[in-house]
């Protein structure tokens, strides 16, 4: 149906063909899941309408993208869009083949590119229990007053996010005073989304440092 749709709606010609195919596949997969649930006796409705403002991702599958490193700057090239410099949060292995790129805009306004890669290396096998040195093991339990306790009597305090939550409450009150759907309302929503993203990053950083500590102390 896509060629006929392009004749009917000329703006679709500005979108790379693989991206349109992935959108059609996404709709088809969702319909298949609804059908499967209905056949299993569950009550299902229709797919929910998503406005253009809320449609925040597009996927390039197999072609239409290129990743280059020029003058120590990683550049992502997307067909029908152009080139853009990006910052890689982690290096892509040299033997990896990038099979898919999903470009996503968060509610905070930030853009991310998620790469689906394929490597020749098999996943490492899980070690057998008899191969694990139990003297190097540590038990960790989530606490109430403290964030965590372990079997070596180490206590980890909870992450202090009180100031962030207070700021979030103020922005939430400001949002309630805006006219829903107005430009100021959407800008306020983005401001709140940035605070949510900052809280998530602080939590992720806290957990990363905690896991790195245990990996370092117990040679994991």
Q: Element (H or E) spanning 8, and its range?
A: helix 2-8
- pLDDT greater at residue 32 or residue 126: 32
DSSP letter, residue 54: G
Mean pLDDT over residues 28-33, rounded? Answer: 92
How does pLDDT run across 155-173, given as a tens digit for each residue?
999 899 999 999 999 999 9
Over pLDDT 90: what percentage of the chain?
Answer: 53
Whose tokens are 């809320």? That residue is 54
All residues at 6 or more sequence positions from 107 whose CB lies less than 8 Å from its CB, including other chains: 56, 189, 190, 193, 196
* Domain ranges, ordered by start, for the chain: 1-124, 129-217
Please give the Cα distance from 123 to 153 (Å, whole number): 34
pTM: 0.71
- Which pLDDT does position 46 carry in this prediction? 84
How does pLDDT run across 57-105, given as a tens digit for each residue?
999 999 999 998 877 889 999 999 999 999 998 888 888 899 999 999 9
How would residue 129 be classed by pLDDT, with cut points 50, 70 and 90?
Answer: low
Q: Is the pLDDT of residue 27 over 80?
A: yes
Residue 111, classed as helix, strand or coil, is strand
- Which pLDDT does position 133 carry in this prediction? 62
Please give the Cα distance from 60 to 44 (Å, whole number): 30
On whether the CB atoms of residues 68 and 74 are closer than 8 A, the answer is yes
Please give the Cα distance from 8 to 187 (Å, whole number): 34
Q: Element (H or E) spanning 60, and its range?
A: strand 57-61
- Which pLDDT does position 14 carry in this prediction? 93
For residue 5, how many other CB atoms are within 10 A of its CB?
11
- Least confident segment among 92-96, 114-118, 184-188: 92-96
Determine the distance from the C-alpha atom of residue 60 to the mean position of all C-alpha atoms in its chain, rounded to a whole number: 16
Whose tokens are 């298949």? That residue is 32
How would residue 25 be classed by pLDDT, with cut points 50, 70 and 90?
Answer: very high
Please give the Cα distance from 85 to 68 (Å, whole number): 10
What radius of gyration, in Å, describes the C-alpha atoms of the chain?
24
- Which pLDDT does position 28 carry in this prediction? 93
On whether the CB atoms of residues 173 and 191 are closer than 8 A, the answer is no
């Amino acid at each position: 149906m896509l060629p006929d749709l392009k004749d009917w709606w000329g703006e679709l010609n500005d979108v790379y063909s693989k991206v349109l195919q992935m959108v059609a596949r996404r709709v088809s997969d969702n319909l298949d899941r609804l059908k499967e649930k209905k056949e299993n006796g569950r009550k299902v409705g229709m797919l929910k309408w998503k406005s253009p403002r809320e449609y925040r991702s597009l996927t390039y599958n197999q072609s239409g993208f290129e990743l280059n490193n020029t003058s120590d700057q990683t550049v992502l090239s997307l067909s029908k869009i152009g080139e853009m410099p990006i910052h890689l949060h982690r290096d892509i292995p040299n033997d990896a083949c990038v099979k898919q790129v999903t470009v996503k805009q968060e509610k905070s306004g930030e853009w991310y590119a998620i790469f689906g890669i394929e490597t020749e290396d098999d996943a490492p096998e899980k070690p057998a229990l008899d191969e694990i040195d139990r003297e190097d093991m540590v038990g960790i339990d989530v606490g109430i007053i403290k964030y965590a306790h372990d079997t070596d009597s180490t206590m980890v305090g909870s992450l202090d996010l009180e100031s962030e939550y207070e700021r979030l409450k103020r922005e939430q009150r400001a949002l309630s005073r805006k006219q829903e759907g107005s430009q100021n309302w959407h800008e306020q929503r983005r401001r709140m989304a940035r605070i949510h993203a900052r809280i998530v990053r602080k939590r992720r950083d806290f957990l990363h440092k905690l896991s790195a500590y245990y990996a370092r102390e117990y040679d994991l």
